[in-house]
Structure 1
Amino acid sequence: MKLWTAMKCTEQNRCSLYLSIKGTLQLDDNVHGVELCSLSVATQKTQCVEVKISKSKQAKLTGRKVKVQYDCFEVSVGQKLHVSMRTIPNYCGNQRNQDYLVEDCRNSDVGKNIPVCFATRMTYALDKGRKNILVNVFDVVQGTDYYARLCHQWFVCEDAGPVTLIQEKDLGKPISLQYHQLLPCLCIEAWPAISDARRVQFCPFKNNTKALWENIIYNPVTQTLAWEAACPIHVTVSLCQQMKTNDQCVDLENSSQIAQEKVKYPRVDAHPRLCMKFTTKHNVWIRCPFAHRKSGAWRMSLSLVDEHIEVSFMTHTAEAQFSVLVCNRTEGSSCNSSSRYQPASVGDLSSKSINISGKACGSNICIQGWRTDVDYSIPSYVCDLPCTSSSLSQEHDKNPLSILSLAAFLSILVTLMALLGYKLLSAFHKKRLIKRNAVHNKMLRTKSISSLH
């Protein structure tokens, strides 16, 4: 069996392709002809024809080899075919099979004469306000309508909207294709309204990767945080904690995943500083889905009560569990453990307190609290803890010698001041007495002189 492609033209550059089949048949009294079939591998469409030999010719040609040819199976550019030929009637599976690939537009004759191979050009304009792409199609086949659509390029280009028919009279005028999101895999396709026509594809948004990281969904009932890839991309996804002091986002332990299509994180605490980090070979992007919240679903507060520091938790969820850690301040996002306290269970819109010794105070001491009923939680820190009066007195009791020394010094100082005051007072009194005696003596002398006269 021999196969080849034939071309039939109605006018210049208006040609169609046909499959020609030629085979040799050994005639006998029981064989009346052959059945020829062509199956399209892509569409599974089958074309069959029976070529029968008349009784008069069969009588003359019995026992001889007869050549059979058929040229009328219409085929498409680049089509893959499975061709078969078998006798009529068919005895014992007497059949010949052969695969065939029709020439594509790279063939010079096909490229010049088959309309679907003619280069079609497209231009586009973006209307972000209405989320429309205005498309113009040029260099079209005369007398032919066209189709246009938006699609997402995966293994094949999947529909991202309805297919629009452009009638021949409207070719050259812009058509409007509405989009949902400008993704890097969003493409524009146009092709003639002909069976198995060649499609022209244009993907103008390949560098718009930022749009990929917006598809984050949180389910508050199951506390599941999920991200789904809208386009094929190789990316590593992790959860991270956004730091207050800088723009750094520190990865949470055991949260890194290589994304295929969808990433899920179960039991996630909806904290304003809990973020998702997307890392590709070109860049890193961080998205914080809870950043719009002024506060998280829970709050930790401290107060000084008697000889203890009271740590209180308040939550807006149905029920939550917390743990408290007293630790030494470090430069990173965590601190070194000093002691751990038993977890507390807190119900909806309620609070519960944990008492910590007043000894846990100072500039390098922190109280860390976090949820223990979830898999991923952002801890809360309170540092620079003030010391209670009890702790201050305990510190002073450790230095009795210093206190006694201070008391002795104050006693000596008071004694010296008293002696000095006594001396000054005695001197002042003595001086005053001398002055009084002098005045008295003067008065006596004056009186005696008066008597003599």
Structure 2
Amino acid sequence: MILWVALLMAHCSLGLNGASAESTGLERIEKCDTRCSQGLHCRSKPDSLFPPPCQPPAEGLNTSSVFHNISLSTVMRCEGRQKCSLHLRIKTALHLTEFTHGVSICTVTAGMMANCQIFSFTRASRERMSGLQVEVENDCTNISPSQQVQVTLKTVPSYCGVTWTGTYEAPECISKDLRQHVPECITGRLSYDVIPQRRELRVSVSDMLENYNYHLRLCRKDFICIDTGVNKLIKKEEPVKSTTLPYSRPLPCLCIEGWSAVMDAPRVQVCPFKDRLEELWFGINFDPLEGTLSWEPSCPVTAVVRLCQKREDSVCVDLPHASQNVSREKIRFTEVDPHPQLCMKFTAGSQSWIRCPFTDTRFQAWEVIVTRRQGQENVTMLSQITATFSVGLCVKSERSTVCQVTETHTMQVEKHKAVGLNLAGERCNICLQVKRLDVKFAATIVHCLEQCNQTLPVRLVISSRASWILTWVVVPAGVCLSSIIIFTLFLHILLSVYQRRRQEERKNGGCTSKKQTDPAFDCVVPALPTQPVVRGGVLIPDSPQCGNNEKANLISN
């Protein structure tokens, strides 16, 4: 029982020690120092910048057994809660002989000159401990987080071939111990609340670097975080370390970035909308002159973009050879027919989103118009541009959604000139399949007719706009024009008769003949002609019996 209790206490003690070590993180030191094995007295001094060249090993010196168990580690020295520094601890064991007077340790970091120290042993201690294994430990080399250090060990004096070289990388700032106590790693902690109604982010900062202001901003994350222009400064004197940042769109790459107002301060980022991929599939543009459909991602994303045709059941069927991979660059699809059923499908991972940019009919280049008159369906095709189409007659079965083409025609439709697409002898389940041929990417449109006639054979009749105009425009216009002309002639005749009567009434105003019996006549002219009288070369005809008539004089030569 006593043995069992002792083992249990030992186990608990080890567990507590392990937990304590885990909670404290890096080992703390009060001050940096150089330590040697007990009984070995060592003193440190800077090494020369230009040390003498190495010398051949002395006889009896085993070059392979001089250095043993070399270890490199990081310790922390603190002067306050947020004023801790990192130190490199170098520890080595060596076989001490009369030829070894000390150890030289050099450290080199990128962009810095070598820092070399000599740790020499006193002659008395060398003679006393010659032939034994001794240890030398030094932790006075300052290092920075994530810094790489090259370490070189040599003997004093320096013997050729008796060296050790290694590389050490300091811990990163991801350690909680470093993020709380080392100024180079203190970024502050950000917490936020999203206010979607006002499109604002309420941001609070904790564990920021003491006695310094703090910067906050919104940025779009890429290779670097690109500033959006929304910046705030939290003063160190403010008791509440919080502010609001307005945003326009909840993009997945929109992040909150914070850092202390010191030189080369580390930064922390949190991205509130990192899962909102659906916000990326906007900003689709179409150039109607070039027929180019383009889209540029607002954030870097790995996705596939395809063109597809949306069916009535909301399933978008991919068009052949119409897919592109996306990361950061703008994508373009050239020679695209803008039709409401033509859409873009965005696929990222296992999710897909459909966007149909041509649902607004102002982009629609052509359409099939179906009208119904007296139980007869008339199909007309009208295009806003001159284009070439494939028009087919197809039959759709009840069990399949695929329309089997039985007859196909290629036709060119001129701009703003309608073409009739009529069926001679319709029957059940008959459809028209139309597709534009003068572009790379176009939807295949199927229009099914409601008529059902099982007795007559089916034939597609394509009528030009001329016959359509003759039937529905020219004939009614001709009838109207003829009516106007006839009405005008009738009015002209009535007006002529009226004017003639008025003239006759004016002429009858001076007549005195007693033979006048009809009031419709104004004058009576003799029925038999009389011979004119010639007087002095002037021909004077007989005067009529109306006193108001003018004389007609003929002057002869």
**TM-score, structure 2 length as denominator?**
0.51
Match of 2:144 among 33, 54, 75: 75
Structure 2 partner of 1:8: 77
- CA distance in 2 between counterparts of 1:292 and 1:285 reads 19
Structure 1 partner of 2:393: 326
Tell me how far 1:23 sits from its aligned partner: 8.6
The aligned runs of 1:324-363 (5 Å cut-off) are 324-330=391-397, 335-344=403-412, 346=414, 349-351=415-417, 353=419, 359=424, 361-363=426-428
Structure-2 change in CA distance of 1:313 and 1:221 (3 Å): same
- CA distance in 2 between counterparts of 1:149 and 1:286 reads 33
- The structure whose Rg is larger is 2
- CA distance in 2 between counterparts of 1:356 and 1:6 reads 87
Structure 2 partner of 1:250: 316
Question: What's the CA shift string for 1:202-259, capped at 9, x where partnerless?
Answer: 332244333122242333344233344445666554333334xx45233143267474
- CA distance in 1 between counterparts of 2:271 and 2:278 reads 16
Q: For residue 214 of structure 1, give the secondary structure of its aligned residue in structure 2.
A: coil
Question: What's the CA shift string for 1:250-308, capped at 9, x where partnerless?
Answer: 3143267474426543322111222223456665532211112256112345799xxxx
Match of 1:369 among 434, 450, 458: 434
Structure-2 change in CA distance of 1:12 and 1:376 (3 Å): closer
Contact 1:127-1:134 within 8 A present in 2 as well = no
- CA distance in 1 between counterparts of 2:164 and 2:370 reads 89
Structure 2 partner of 1:314: 383
- CA distance in 1 between counterparts of 2:260 and 2:384 reads 62
Q: Confirm whether residue 182 of structure 1 aligns to residue 182 of structure 2.
A: no
AA aligned to 1:38 is: T
Most deviating of 270-279 and 251-260: 251-260
Q: For residue 211 of structure 1, give the secondary structure of its aligned residue in structure 2.
A: helix
Structure 1 partner of 2:206: 138
Structure-2 change in CA distance of 1:107 and 1:74 (3 Å): same
- CA distance in 2 between counterparts of 1:22 and 1:289 reads 69
Question: What's the CA shift string for 1:174-200, capped at 9, x where partnerless?
Answer: 434343420234332323345675544
- CA distance in 2 between counterparts of 1:373 and 1:100 reads 63
The aligned runs of 1:276-425 (5 Å cut-off) are 276-279=344-347, 284-293=352-361, 296-301=364-369, 312-316=381-385, 319-330=386-397, 335-344=403-412, 346=414, 349-351=415-417, 353=419, 359=424, 361-384=426-449
Q: Confirm whether residue 241 of structure 1 aligns to residue 309 of structure 2.
A: yes
AA aligned to 2:317 is: D
Tell me how far 1:372 sits from its aligned partner: 0.6
The aligned runs of 1:108-119 (5 Å cut-off) are 110=178, 113-115=181-183, 116=185
- CA distance in 1 between counterparts of 2:297 and 2:345 reads 14
Contact 1:183-1:206 within 8 A present in 2 as well = yes
Match of 1:220 among 279, 284, 288: 288
Q: Confirm whether residue 191 of structure 1 aligns to residue 259 of structure 2.
A: yes
Q: Percent identity?
A: 27
AA aligned to 2:225 is: E
Aligned length: 364
Most deviating of 359-368 and 277-286: 277-286
Structure-2 change in CA distance of 1:186 and 1:358 (3 Å): closer
Structure 1 partner of 2:237: 169
Structure 2 partner of 1:99: 168
- CA distance in 2 between counterparts of 1:216 and 1:361 reads 41
Question: What's the CA shift string for 1:159-179, capped at 9, x where partnerless?
Answer: 353565534234734434343
Tell me how far 1:81 sits from its aligned partner: 1.2
Match of 1:17 among 75, 86, 90: 86
RMSD: 5.1
- CA distance in 2 between counterparts of 1:95 and 1:15 reads 30
AA aligned to 1:48 is: M
Q: For residue 144 of structure 1, give the secondary structure of its aligned residue in structure 2.
A: coil
AA aligned to 1:265 is: F
Structure-2 change in CA distance of 1:330 and 1:226 (3 Å): farther
Which ranges of structure 2 fall in alignment gaps of 5 or more residues?
Answer: 1-69, 127-135, 373-377, 460-557
Q: For residue 336 of structure 2, give the secondary structure of its aligned residue in structure 1.
A: coil
**TM-score, structure 1 length as denominator?**
0.61
Contact 1:363-1:383 within 8 A present in 2 as well = no
Tell me how far 1:75 sits from its aligned partner: 0.9
- CA distance in 1 between counterparts of 2:114 and 2:345 reads 62
Contact 2:288-2:363 within 8 A present in 1 as well = no
Structure-2 change in CA distance of 1:24 and 1:225 (3 Å): farther
Structure-2 change in CA distance of 1:295 and 1:113 (3 Å): closer
Structure 2 partner of 1:158: 225
Question: What's the CA shift string for 1:53-101, capped at 9, x where partnerless?
Answer: 8xxx9xxx9xxxxx8968353413xx141425599x9x99x99341323
- CA distance in 1 between counterparts of 2:422 and 2:187 reads 84
Structure-2 change in CA distance of 1:380 and 1:48 (3 Å): same
Match of 1:211 among 257, 279, 282: 279
AA aligned to 1:10 is: E
- CA distance in 1 between counterparts of 2:105 and 2:211 reads 39
Tell me how far 1:364 sits from its aligned partner: 3.0
Larger relative contact order, structure 1 or 2 (CA cutoff 8 Å, min sep 6): 1
